[in-house]
Structure 1
């Protein structure tokens, strides 16, 4: 098994600290090509182990090489995802004695100032915050030993204006590194992984590949419902969410607020909350925490919650009115993937 390719220190941490009896298939499959220096697009469902699949071999490489400053840059399209991943990345990085720092608009200025003088080996940021880092004089020198870039939810960035800006920022950043920076993209299962890999590669001369999970596919059931009226639709929705953990996706912030208000009136004893980008960060973080901790809750959300934030086991995902594309629908549908148990 690929686990033996990792250093004894990291293997001991996996067994003694993480207490994993084994790696998941996607994690085992990712170790050889990443250790061999290849760029990779890693495909697995939400909560399928993609983060560890990328980070474990990458951290192993860093633990065997010398370097200072930021050595692994982890980029996520959403601040909520970074906040959700922070503890996981801290735990993984600690296995090889490395520190993690966040840099985005919600991080206090005092912490960002501290990072300038005491940089962590692993930096978590967003595409926009990366642009801000590049504009800060003197910070580029911190990336002279940058070895890895990990792009989470790569499918949400590739082929978009935001992704084009990110590509430009990365190309400017890697000029400061003495390495051909190795690039790892994480995504749910998509129909165009080869195209994602080409976009991810940029100017890198490293070979690349697509890594897919091995094992039985997750079985899900979809129901398409056509209701005679809004009243009937809300009545059916109320029946579906009662005493369950459910995500209800809408196409607008106003829709999320309206449905959350209607469900709150119908279910006064059940937690119901809206979730969209116009809400302040503290409100969104509280909703994220409640959704992760509660067994019963309904969150009415826009696309702000459709990416890989780990919300634990969900009973159902409801799409209110049609989505803008089939890929968006599949991404939201994938939120019902249940976390595998060791």
Structure 2
């Protein structure tokens, strides 16, 4: 067993802008009350009750095209691949998978023979996990404003992160926002963060099919989304929510690159005995994929060291290259790259 080491110091980003302005704070671009005339909730939100303009806003007469869309398209133009990581169910390992995928992609080379430039955008507004999973403390994750925009946090010279976790006044601060303000922050992450040229931008999402998911698809559609990877665990209580997520993708026209069955069995590292911790009582992810016409990219078995790696903020794939879970991760990533190149 390889001993887990504490995360190394953060490297100096390769292209920091020379001028550093005041550090950004949690933005207030979306008001606490009025959702704004351009919002789909204009005239319909609770805060609109009693407003003299409610009927006009609800009719859509004041709704104009979102001015953020062309700015987002321009900002994301240098990003080659844009991938959402989704699941209708919480606790299935979306953020952990996103982190491992980011570590693995950043270790590769692009078609030009240069090292891959990767980025992770964490839009789980109420439960941001990416800073911990990538080994960034709040003190290290101080976001700077530069002439180019918000500078993302670099865990490697070629791996950038952005999360609301970097903007909180304290690590335990709760975020209690309604939909419009969440959408406003997602728009800012997309149009104001100086991502630079990237080979991959991974978007880690919360569970569900509501505000954050709709906003991400709406804002990124003009810039182009390559597709979504959908996570599940084998048991029916998870699959029923993931089926809804697949239906969401169909309704919004989002390509499903494939499904990953996480926590798929457990092989004891001592006795090598196999156990089904989450029993696939209805056929698991394979049956669901067959029924819904999507591809199963692979199955990742449980390995307690994945959780340890997550807590330490290091790459499980690098720390435990001989694990069956590592082999499964690498096979899934290889197939995912094939799908993106099709």
- When normalised by structure 1's length, the TM-score is 0.34
Q: Greater helix share, 1 or 2?
A: 1
Higher relative contact order (CA 8 A, sep 6+): 2
